[in-house]
Chain A
């Protein structure tokens, strides 16, 4: 599943037109760019605005762009303060944020520990069932999550993993392990075989080759895999929705808690979405160039 990319950049069509048409074409392009920009950025802008509004400003008709901002929504989210009073019970959102961090980090580290040697084996050695194993790993991508969640829910209730960080980290391996192995394999295969052979001749064992040659050379790939894996875990919603409880909810499930039967706390929900999306925005800037490769498990570079 590798798309062969030509080694050189393709031609860039220059927009050619007669001088009379040129201005119209330029104008159309600028207009297109503005539309694309608004379509992408406006929702973020609006939610950020909403998160600083009072409940009254949020429902005002017509919608207000100029208003006196308040940090009440964030205060309610972080310390539980509402109308100048700190609520008796601590707010859950800081806990949800911590849960997201623990579960995502734990899942990535576990996947890395198991994935590095596995990816190395799949990249460098010939052995029976090699392709079958790689295929089975890939095939998890096809399964609707509910097919895992139903039996996991039953199992976890029985063996006490329900509503635990450990249980979620194990379930998240469905997200991170196949991804980690496929990504690392594609990065490891890019390291010239000659360098590895040379290290072997110099007396390195396979472990030496892996630790002293392959891993240092694939540091960028390793960090990209870690960051993307972390982001996929941070985005996860389905597994924790069924396998976590209030004690272990991540931010994704936490953010939806602002919708109840009686009312929707729009302002707090907006603040929660901002806080939940923020780490992703920062991280995605760091791995810009690799996001497509990550989302296709290395199929498109």
Chain B
């Protein structure tokens, strides 16, 4: 009798213990469902002809959207620009970011102030960053940027009006906003490096370059891959900055796949096609991230 009265609540308790995490998760899961549902719906739309103005013409067309996107005259250019921009942005930002991190790691005057100031470009809205630079790049004559360049004997550059200038503008603005992110992560990595390998290198009589090449760089590799991962993901999908300064122009020079998807959906109201484009971009992001994550695993294994 007494044992039975003990086990029943105990069993009930165990069952409650099993249900508890799900109870705790339920509000989040409801919201999560609210996020997954539109995505699933959108995925379905990517296989349909869906003009917003002609809802009656809605029909399922299998892969036609995906196939026809590749025939779009703009697609090749946007695809190449997406990849090219990502490659340039990542190389510039990780390269400069490493330089800045090494610089801040050395004992330079006013390091704490610099470090704090560098957070500001990182945390203001990217669109606001773009508008700030748009003001500075404004015209070829009155813009402050061209005025400053004239002291170096350069320019004037037609920043937003010429295709090359516009691409450079997006690169500069994106770099200004994200360089601090790369630098701060790499600086954190540098500050967390163990002392022993450096002492060993010193004993072996290694110079600064050899130490950097064979000690610092390999040890820092997980951090380098990690920032490359984050920057690759964001550069492939950059939207705010381009939308704010050029809207994809001039002459479609800054139209990437994301801007193109936006144009399909919200300028020509071909929702199905816009969604198919978004899925293509998603696949690209996932492939790039997967490759970089594998690299990251390898890098952190070899340093651990």
A and B co-occur in one complex = yes
Residues of A within 8 A of B (CB): 3-6, 8-15, 29-30, 32-33, 36-37, 39-41, 43-44, 46-47, 50, 58-63, 110, 113-115, 117-118, 120-122, 125, 127, 130, 133, 136-137, 140-155, 170, 173-174, 177, 181, 206, 231, 234-238, 241-242, 251-253, 255-256, 266, 269-270, 272-273, 276-277, 280-281, 283-285, 288, 291-292, 295-296, 299-301
Q: Which residues of A contact B38 (CB under 8 A)?
A: 148, 151-152, 155
**Residues in chain A near residue B190, CB distance under 8 A:** 10
B115 nearest CB neighbor, chain A only: A288
| A63→B142 contact, CB < 8 A | yes
- B interface residues, Cβ below 8 angstroms from A: 18, 20-25, 27-32, 34-36, 38-39, 41-42, 45, 52, 100, 103, 105-110, 114, 116-129, 131-133, 135-136, 138-139, 141-144, 147, 176, 180-181, 184-185, 188-195, 198, 208, 222-223, 226, 230, 233, 237, 239-240, 243-244, 258, 261-262, 265-266, 271, 274-275, 277-279, 281-282, 285-286, 289, 300, 304
Q: CB distance B124 to A235 under 8 Å?
A: yes
Task: Give the shortest distance, in Å, between B42 (CB) and chain A (any CB).
Answer: 4
The complex places the Cα of A118 from the Cα of B278 at a distance, in Å, of: 30
* Known contacts A63-B147, A177-B31: A146-B258 contact under CB 8 Å: yes
Cβ A43 vs Cβ B133 within 8 A: yes
CA of A137 to CA of B28, assembled, Å: 10
A231, B123: Cα distance in complex, Å: 7
Contact B133 A5, beta carbon cutoff 8 Å? no
| A242 engages B106 (CB within 8 Å) | no
How far, in whole Å, are A140 and B32 apart by their CA atoms in the complex? 10
Question: Are A144's CB and B135's CB within 8 A?
Answer: no
**Minimum-distance CB pairs A-B, first 10:** A118-B28, A151-B42, A10-B193, A121-B24, A114-B27, A147-B278, A117-B24, A284-B123, A151-B38, A235-B125
B189: which A residues are within 8 A, CB to CB? Answer: 3
Max count, chain A CB within 10 A of own CB: residue among B108, B143, B208: B108
B108 and A33 contacting across the interface, CB-CB below 8 Å: yes
B interface secondary structure, majority: helix
Known: A146-B278, A173-B34, A292-B181. Is A3-B226 also a contact (CB below 8 A)?
A: yes
Interface pair A29/B124, CB less than 8 Å apart: no
When distances are taken between beta carbons in the complex, the residues of chain A under 8 Å from B105 are 12-13
Q: Which residue of B lies closest to A116 (CB)?
A: B24
CA distance A33 to B38 in the complex (A): 48
B119, B191, B233: the one contacting A142 at CB < 8 Å is B233
**In the complex, A170 Cα to B82 Cα: how many Å?**
30
Are B188 and A41 interface neighbours, CB within 8 A? no
Residue contact A270 to B135, C-beta cutoff 8 Å: yes
* Partner among B108, B142, B185 whose Cβ is within 8 Å of the Cβ of A292: B185
The answer to whether B25 touches A284, judged by C-beta atoms less than 8 angstroms apart, is no
Do the beta carbons of B279 and A40 come within 8 Å of each other? no
Contact of A284 among B28, B122, B304 (CB under 8 A): B122
CB < 8 Å neighbour of A280 from B110, B125, B223, B261:
B125
**A6-B193, A173-B34 are contacts. A40–B120 as well, Cβ < 8 Å?**
yes
Smallest CB gap from B120: residue in A? A281
The reply to whether B120 and A115 contact each other, CB–CB distance below 8 Å, is: no
Instruction: Show 17 A/B contacts (Cβ-Cβ < 8 Å), sorted by A.
Output: A12-B191, A29-B109, A33-B110, A37-B114, A37-B117, A43-B132, A63-B142, A125-B20, A147-B275, A155-B38, A177-B32, A235-B124, A252-B127, A270-B135, A276-B128, A288-B119, A291-B184
From B21, B27, B141, B147, residue with most partner A Cβ within 10 Å = B21
Q: Which residue of chain A lies nearest to B55 when distances are taken between CB atoms in the complex?
A: A154
- The answer to whether A127 and B141 have CB atoms under 8 Å apart is no
Given contacts A3-B222, A36-B118, A121-B22, 12 further A-B contacts (CB under 8 A): A3-B223, A6-B193, A12-B106, A13-B106, A43-B136, A46-B135, A63-B147, A146-B277, A150-B278, A277-B124, A277-B128, A284-B120
